[in-house]
């Protein structure tokens, strides 16, 4: 049956409406965010389930049993307990060395760095590498948790979705937070704790715009995890009642003790990572060395430290361990986890922190019982539970998520008062003992500093290699004055001449500051002066991996506008130059990108109002994200000057070569506009505000 013309128009109108309302990047941003929260939650939930299955598969292959118990491990020949973690390290080493280095370690710092420095961009291969590397590490006895890998896997998949839909940097960060929340929620069966983990640790931002999709992702992942793995709490709650208000004094002591233990764990892990980074052996062999440490502990009577450690957490919550073993397990687990993750193995630190905290609580109970036996619980189970939260809170500097993880893990409310008291004290005292958390200490060493809301010094995220120029002017130290002056006068781009010796090694530089001292009598000095006589022989230089905050500080101290960049393997050989103006431009570009990422989203539309500057009364200039209805059209067809009375000054578009980077494009009448483009426009203020609102 052939449709009539009116029917054809009606159908066309319906199709246009469907396309407008249900396009892949919907006009209604809130709806899109919620839908993406559901999708990411599904991925995170099934990812957690799948990852647990992968660990069990490796355990079955390595030990012949799923979740091998302490008694089972003791029955194995000592050489098997020694060899299995080493074999696991030999498998993991090549994966994290040659395929995805981001997959080594505990994963969360890499996600935090991606959010802070790269706008949430994470390589897709990281998820695949993390699944295999972490499953093998944990399944062969490595001392690590499963939550860190699941956070990184969920965040990576969320980032891939964000890149697929070409969302803004701000939204990309929210999606990555959704992935992290889903991972924690599914792992611990704790949706509220998952949400707070994303906001408090990964994003460091409690802005309302972030919360809705993160809650949705967290709840969705929890629902899936519960449907497959069950809804019961991970640990049984020990019976508890406060014997006296004075017993809270013991929990205050536990808070201080937990802080000391958490900071010790952080420092040992950091020192171990540094040790293995400097160890002069092939990188792919380092996880096997860590496996050898674990295997040695297991072979000689301490297989308690193998794997995630939930078995001994449950025993501690029942109060069934002696004081001596508790002390040994605290030190053993810190050492084992540091060896596993510091050597390049893959896994999380939350589960080991829970393990260490449970043992710490037990030690404090024994001390309190010796001094005031009438003011403590019958066994150390409640102290172990509170110690778990306190150590996690102090190590991560995130007390809210630590309290809620333990609250949701156990499902018990009676112990909430000492839980909160110890956790807050541990967090505050831990911050006094050590500025950085277990997550940020690794990033701080790379120059990434997190503030109160996750902001960092933008120049610390840019390396010299990104803006270095390969062109520079260099002369031999015996070059005469007149040729030296000619070199400087002939170049409009270079204000400094680098002076090298006969082996082309940097020995100094000559700038206008040095030249003006002899310009008054060039004719008289020309026959006797050479470049080496005039040069500043204490040259400053940079390596390609230096960050621009260092460069800017040095430029602020020197009168130079150009400095040399040297070969990192030979600091005397010049390979390029860096200019003061280039640093300023890089700073400006980065600030614009961060303005784009940090702008407040409308609750209804996908358009961001990013920057507005008044020109004349009633007129202004602003940066706006391309309105949805303009996507796929050319500037010529839109004719914005006549239809909207605005001029497009510049277009900023995502680079195809540098993922996540916005590049400036000169407006061309025939250029097709793409979703995600940012337009710098000028025109009547009311028109710009209308376009900003969509």
Strand partners, 499: 475, 508
**Start-end ranges of CATH 1.10.3080.10 in the chain?**
32-229, 248-292+304-444
Pairwise CA distance, residues 305 & 145, whole Å? 11
- The rounded average pLDDT for each run of 10 residues, N- to C-terminus, in the chain (694 residues) is 47 44 49 88 90 91 86 88 92 88 79 75 81 90 87 87 78 87 86 85 66 89 86 70 85 95 94 90 92 90 86 86 92 93 90 93 93 87 91 90 79 78 94 89 70 49 81 81 71 77 83 62 64 75 81 69 83 84 71 46 34 52 76 83 76 65 70 80 75 64
Which ranges of 466-619 does DSSP label H, i.e. alpha helix? 481-490, 512-515, 522-525, 531-534, 548-557, 580-598
Superfamily of domain 464-585: CBS-domain (3.10.580.10)
HSE of 609 in the Cβ direction (CA atoms, 13 Å)?
A: 16
Per-residue pLDDT at 537:
78
Please give the distance of CA 534 from its chain centroid, rounded to a whole number: 47
State the Cα torsion 417-418-420-421 to the nearest 10°: 120
Per-residue pLDDT at 324:
92
Per-residue pLDDT at 128:
83
What is the DSSP code string of 605-640? -S-BEEEEEE-STTEEEEEEEPPGGGTT-BHHHH-H
Tell me the three state secondary structure of residue 668.
coil
**Start-end ranges of CATH 3.10.580.10 in the chain?**
464-585
Q: What is the pLDDT of residues 481-522, one digit of tens each?
A: 777 777 766 666 777 888 888 888 888 877 766 666 565 565
Task: Give the number of other Cβ atoms within 10 Å of residue 560's Cβ.
Answer: 19
| 619-625 sheet: strands from edge to edge | 609-614, 619-625, 678-684, 647-654, 662-665
Q: What is the pLDDT of residues 574-610, one digit of tens each?
A: 888 888 777 777 766 665 555 444 443 333 233 333 3
Residue found under tokens 């380092």: 286
Nearest to 68 by CA among 143, 139, 150, 142: 139
Superfamily of domain 600-693: Regulator of K+ conductance, C-terminal domain (3.30.70.1450)
Pairwise CA distance, residues 608 & 363, whole Å? 54
Pairwise CA distance, residues 444 & 71, whole Å? 41
**Start-end ranges of CATH 3.30.70.1450 in the chain?**
600-693
345 and 137 in contact (C-beta within 8 Å)? yes
The CATH number of 32-229 is 1.10.3080.10
Per-residue pLDDT at 16:
45
Pairwise CA distance, residues 103 & 161, whole Å? 19
The CATH number of 248-292+304-444 is 1.10.3080.10
Per-residue pLDDT at 526:
64
Tell me the three state secondary structure of residue 468.
coil
Per-residue pLDDT at 620:
63
The pTM of the full predicted model, rounded to 2 decimals, is 0.65
Per-residue pLDDT at 519:
57
Pairwise CA distance, residues 580 & 217, whole Å? 45
Per-residue pLDDT at 561:
75
HSE of 371 in the Cβ direction (CA atoms, 13 Å)?
A: 10
Per-residue b or e along 584-620, where b marks 16 or more CB atoms closer than 10 Å to that residue's CB: eebbebbebbbbbbbbebbeebbbbbbbeeeeeeebb
131 and 82 in contact (C-beta within 8 Å)? no
Per-residue pLDDT at 370:
93
């Amino acid at each position: 049956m052939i449709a009539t013309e009116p029917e054809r128009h009606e159908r066309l109108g319906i199709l246009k409406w469907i396309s407008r309302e249900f396009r892949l990047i919907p006009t209604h941003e809130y709806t899109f965010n919620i839908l993406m929260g559901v999708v990411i939650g599904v991925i995170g939930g099934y990812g957690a389930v799948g990852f647990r299955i992968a660990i069990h598969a490796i355990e079955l292959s390595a030990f012949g049993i799923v979740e091998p118990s302490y008694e089972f491990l003791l029955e194995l020949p000592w050489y098997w307990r020694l060899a299995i973690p080493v074999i696991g390290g030999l498998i993991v080493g090549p994966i994290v060395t040659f395929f995805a280095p981001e997959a080594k370690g505990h994963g969360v710092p890499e996600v935090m760095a991606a959010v802070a420095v790269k706008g949430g961009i994470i390589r897709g291969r990281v998820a695949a590498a993390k699944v295999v590397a972490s499953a093998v590490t944990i399944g062969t006895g490595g001392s690590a948790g499963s939550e860190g890998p699941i956070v990184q896997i969920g965040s990576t998949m969320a980032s891939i979705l964000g890149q697929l839909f070409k969302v803004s940097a701000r939204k990309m960060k929210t999606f990555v937070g959704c992935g992290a929340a889903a991972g924690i929620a599914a792992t611990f069966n704790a949706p509220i704790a998952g949400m707070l983990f994303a906001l408090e640790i990964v994003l460091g931002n409690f802005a309302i715009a972030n919360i809705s999709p993160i809650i949705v992702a967290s709840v969705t992942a929890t629902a899936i995890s519960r449907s497959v793995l069950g809804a019961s709490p991970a640990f049984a709650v020990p019976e508890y009642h406060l014997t006296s208000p004075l017993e809270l004094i013991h929990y205050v002591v536990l808070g201080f003790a937990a802080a000391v233990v958490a900071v010790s764990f952080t420092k040992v892990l950091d020192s171990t990572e540094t040790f293995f980074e400097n160890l002069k052996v092939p990188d792919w062999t380092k996880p096997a060395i860590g496996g050898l440490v674990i295997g040695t502990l297991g072979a000689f009577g301490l297989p308690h430290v193998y794997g995630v450690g939930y078995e001994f957490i449950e025993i501690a919550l029942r109060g069934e361990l002696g004081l001596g073993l508790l002390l040994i397990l605290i030190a053993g687990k810190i050492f084992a986890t540091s060896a596993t993750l510091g050597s390049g193995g893959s896994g999380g630190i939350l589960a080991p922190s829970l393990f260490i905290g449970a043992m710490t609580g037990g030690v404090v109970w024994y001390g309190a019982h010796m001094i005031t036996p009438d003011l403590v619980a019958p066994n150390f189970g409640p102290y172990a539970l509170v110690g778990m939260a306190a150590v996690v809170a102090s190590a991560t500097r995130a007390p809210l998520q630590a309290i809620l993880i333990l609250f949701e893990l156990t499902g018990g409310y009676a112990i909430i008062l000492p839980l909160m008291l110890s956790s807050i004290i541990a967090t505050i005292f831990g911050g006094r003992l050590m500025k950085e958390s277990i997550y940020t200490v690794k990033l701080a060493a790379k120059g990434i500093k997190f503030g109160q809301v996750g902001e960092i010094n933008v120049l610390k995220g840019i390396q010299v290699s990104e803006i270095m120029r390969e062109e520079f002017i260099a002369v031999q130290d015996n070059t005469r004055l007149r040729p030296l002056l000619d070199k400087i006068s002939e170049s409009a781009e270079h204000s400094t001449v680098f002076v090298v010796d006969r082996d082309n090694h940097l020995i100094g530089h000559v700038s206008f500051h040095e030249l003006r001292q002899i310009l008054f009598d060039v004719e008289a000095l020309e026959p006797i002066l050479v470049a080496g006589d005039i040069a500043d022989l204490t040259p400053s230089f940079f390596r390609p991996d230096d960050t621009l905050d260092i460069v800017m500080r040095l430029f602020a101290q020197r009168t130079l506008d150009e400095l040399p960049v040297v070969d990192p393997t030979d600091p005397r050989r010049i390979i390029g130059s860096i200019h003061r103006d280039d640093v300023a431009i890089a700073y400006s570009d980065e600030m614009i990108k961060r303005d784009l990422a940090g702008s407040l989203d409308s609750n209804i539309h996908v358009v961001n109002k990013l920057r507005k500057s008044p020109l004349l009364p009633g007129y202004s200039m602003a940066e706006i994200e391309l309105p949805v209805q303009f996507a796929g059209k050319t500037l010529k067809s839109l004719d914005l000057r006549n239809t909207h009375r605005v001029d497009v000054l510049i277009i900023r578009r995502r680079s195809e070569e540098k993922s996540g980077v916005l590049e400036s494009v000169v407006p061309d009448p025939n250029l097709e506009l793409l979703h995600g483009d940012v337009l710098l426009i000028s025109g009547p203020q009311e028109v710009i505000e209308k376009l900003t609102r969509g």
